[in-house]
Amino acid sequence: MIRILSFLLLFFLSWNCKSKQESLIEEIQELLEEQNYEKASGMLKDYLVKPKSDDEVLASEKPETPRIVELSYDRKRLIYLEDSKLIWRDASDGSNGSKSLDEVPASLAVSLNANFALAEYPMTNGCRLFAISLKNNDLLYESGAQISCRNRGGISDDGSKIYYFVDNQLYEEKTVEPRTPKLIVSKEKITPPFAGLKARFFLYPIGKDFLLFSGNAGSYYLYYFQPEKKSVERIDQEVISPLIYYGTGDSAYYLGGSIGRLHLRRLQFGKGKPSSSKLFTISRKEINPWKLPGKNEFVSNYSGKVHLWGPSRKSQVLPLLCERIWLVDQNKVLCENEKGGLYLTNLDFPEEDWRILKLYEEARDK
């Protein structure tokens, strides 16, 4: 009897969920027959924007300040900022937690495994730095430096050191008193492509070392920075954007080429000097490439749409409307929608969702 009741309950829930989708499709078809395209498009868009019943909602409202999202190199640890509340989730062990900050940071950078964060707080003339532990309360260190808010610093994976830029030079500081910042890389060693433009600098952790971007206005050099050796080495040029997208394993992706001709590039790290390889030309709708595991496929978002694409397949729009996305863990999409909601969703979509997407595109184009 218990088995029969359980089966009937599951059947009813499945039928009820499907009936809502089918009911929406039937209503939309009636609106299309009446040529009420605006109402049909609005209803379909509302469905595609909202999280589904089996999605995990992290935030339902838009924060007052722009949301900051960071990931560990393996994408298993997610860090996001909701105004002055710092929240983390770990897919590897299921742990999660949060920390209330006294102020809202202007920016945030995390260590390799995202156990520590370097927060920048705006001041009248620049930013001040705080090193924060994200697993316990054993680190809350304020640097004595006042830096430009234009750059992105870094923090070691054990939280013992922070790195930041002052006057185009790279400094290292231990996260213990007394404050002892040290110049470790002079500006002559991390020059940007165009000396006449005010340069920006960005650090991203790869193992014990970092990637360092130097440049501005869509033109950057990429350097390999080794803190232990206090050395830098240029490994790529003609870089379009100072952003990286962690892949699966010890890999990351970034954009190279020139304006109007974009190339996807892969960086392999983990054993000595990282190697950079040029992959293939991409379009504007593929400019934030999140690599899927086990396949030569990526997901990107552009103009509110989410695309599935690869070098040997035609780009496909997914039944999901997001303003920004991140690929968390292996293949979970973190979606920030136009209403400011934030939720995790899978890339498996029922047939009804594909039908709803097709109807939405038809109604929108009328």
Any domain includes 246: no
3-state secondary structure of 8: helix
Positive or negative, the CA dihedral 8, 48, 64, 95 is positive
Any domain includes 43: yes
Give whole-number Cα distances, 5 to 12, 16, 122, 292, in Å: 10, 16, 59, 39
Any domain includes 152: no
Calculate mean pLDDT across residues 256-262.
85
Residue 235, C-beta contacts closer than 8 angstroms, at least 6 positions apart: 222, 223, 224, 273, 274, 275, 276
**pLDDT tens profile 164-189:** 999 999 999 999 999 999 999 999 99
Calculate mean pLDDT across residues 196-225.
94
Kindly indicate the confidence band of residue 22, based on its pLDDT and cuts at 50, 70 and 90: confident
Residue 139, C-beta contacts closer than 8 angstroms, at least 6 positions apart: 116, 131, 132, 133, 159, 175
What is the pLDDT, as a whole number, of residue 18?
53
Q: Provide the domain count of the chain.
A: 1
Any domain includes 320: yes
Token pair for residue 222?
């990429």
Any domain includes 361: yes
Kindly indicate the confidence band of residue 9, based on its pLDDT and cuts at 50, 70 and 90: very low
Any domain includes 311: yes
Calculate mean pLDDT across residues 17-43.
80
pTM score, whole prediction: 0.89
Any domain includes 47: yes
Any domain includes 286: no
The answer to whether the beta carbons of residues 85 and 100 sit under 8 Å apart is: yes
What is the pLDDT, as a whole number, of residue 11?
46
What is the pLDDT, as a whole number, of residue 206?
95
What is the pLDDT, as a whole number, of residue 19?
57
Residue span of the structural domain in which 351 resides: 37-62+294-365
Residue 348 has pLDDT above 50, yes or no: yes
Task: State how far the Cα of 351 lies from the Cα of 318, in Å rounded to an integer.
Answer: 12
